[in-house]
Amino acid sequence: MANTISTKTYRDKYRSAILDSLLSRALVSEAIFDKDTSGSKTIQNPYGSQPSTTTQAIAGTYNIAEYQTTDDTLTVTDEIVVAEHVFDFEETLTRFDMFTNRTMEQGMSLAREADKYALNVILDGANASYSTPAGGFGTAANINVIMSNIVGKLSGYSDMYKGIFLVLENSDVPGVIQSQMASGFSYADSALNNGLLTKQGGVEIYVTRDATYVDATIGTKTVTNSGHRLAGVKKVATFAMPGGFHFEEKGVSGKTGMEVVTYAYIGAKAWVTKRDLLIDITIVTS
């Protein structure tokens, strides 16, 4: 007996696979933050006050100190949504799968918005700060100085083994590439031949599009990050997306075809105990 499987079933499965593939490749946030996709709206991370150790002559006595715990909570308060309507005649009369095309475009749009949200919210919570030499990342001679200062600010912390990251915008790239092409023999050869960018001075480099770091209200968060960049230790902040990405196709009264919507619930948090491991970099232009 033959199985009867609707066209929509195949399409939904394919759309899901496309979304997962696109988003896992596109999200910088997934590579550098601790990503939580459980169904939790709230993530708790209470912490205790820091103890103080005393060095003293041997006496066998000690003083009792008080301590207290403080709540630290990530609450998911925002969502990202993209929705479009694909008429039946657009799907029927085109030479390619319009639904797949819209899936890919929506997936990339959500990925960019998710990165923008997480990077800005976590940058706002960074506790360490650093100002670049004049000219910022656009001046090749500054790059090694900047990288060494980033490593210096984070050295000595136990979480260093997780790796150090730096997230730039695409207009910062020329200065970095020029620096790499001028750095030492085999490294420079690799940069000249392959456009090397991924790592320099022990710092992993990630790139997003210009206007990722903004002065704006994003969902319920107001951020002031224009002219700033984020660096820090990987996996010390949390990027929450309960249930991951969702998509729906639904019929609309009075129109042929289907309404296509992709959405996600989103939250991000720089935990209080780890904020010293995140650096708010101010670009000094002149």
pLDDT band at residue 5 using 50, 70 and 90 as cut-offs: very low
From residue 26, alpha-carbon distances to 72, 201, 237 in Å are 29, 24, 19
pLDDT band at residue 17 using 50, 70 and 90 as cut-offs: low
Residue 75 within any structural domain of the chain: yes
Residue 57 within any structural domain of the chain: no
Total tally of structural domains belonging to the chain: 1
Residue 165 within any structural domain of the chain: yes
pLDDT band at residue 266 using 50, 70 and 90 as cut-offs: very high
pLDDT at residue 1, as a whole number: 44
The neighbour count for residue 78, using CB atoms within 10 Å, is 15
pLDDT band at residue 18 using 50, 70 and 90 as cut-offs: low
Domain of residue 232 covers 7-46+68-282
The CA R_g of the chain, rounded to the nearest whole Å, is 24
Residue 60 within any structural domain of the chain: no
Q: Looking at residues 264-281, what average pLDDT do you find?
A: 93
Rounded distance between C-alpha atoms, residue 165 and residue 231, angstroms: 5
The structure's pTM equals: 0.80
* Digit-coded pLDDT (tens) for 75-119: 899 999 988 877 766 565 455 566 677 777 777 888 889 899 999
Q: Looking at residues 124-148, what average pLDDT do you find?
A: 95
Per the CB < 8 A criterion, the answer to whether 238 and 220 are in contact is no
Q: Looking at residues 184-192, what average pLDDT do you find?
A: 52
The answer to which of 128-132, 172-176, 178-182, 251-255 has the lowest mean pLDDT is: 251-255
What tokens does 55 get? 């060095």
Q: Is the pLDDT of residue 229 over 60?
A: yes
* Digit-coded pLDDT (tens) for 20-30: 555 555 578 88
Q: Is the pLDDT of residue 169 over 80?
A: yes
Contacts 24+ apart (CB under 8 A), 245-253: 245/19, 245/20, 245/23, 245/107, 245/110, 247/12, 247/15, 247/16, 247/19, 247/103, 247/106, 249/8, 249/11, 249/12, 249/99, 252/85
Q: Is the pLDDT of residue 14 over 70?
A: no
Residue given tokens 């990630």 in the structure block? 206
CATH of the domain at 186: 3.90.1690
Residue 31 within any structural domain of the chain: yes
The neighbour count for residue 96, using CB atoms within 10 Å, is 8
Rounded distance between C-alpha atoms, residue 213 and residue 138, angstroms: 16
Residue 54 within any structural domain of the chain: no
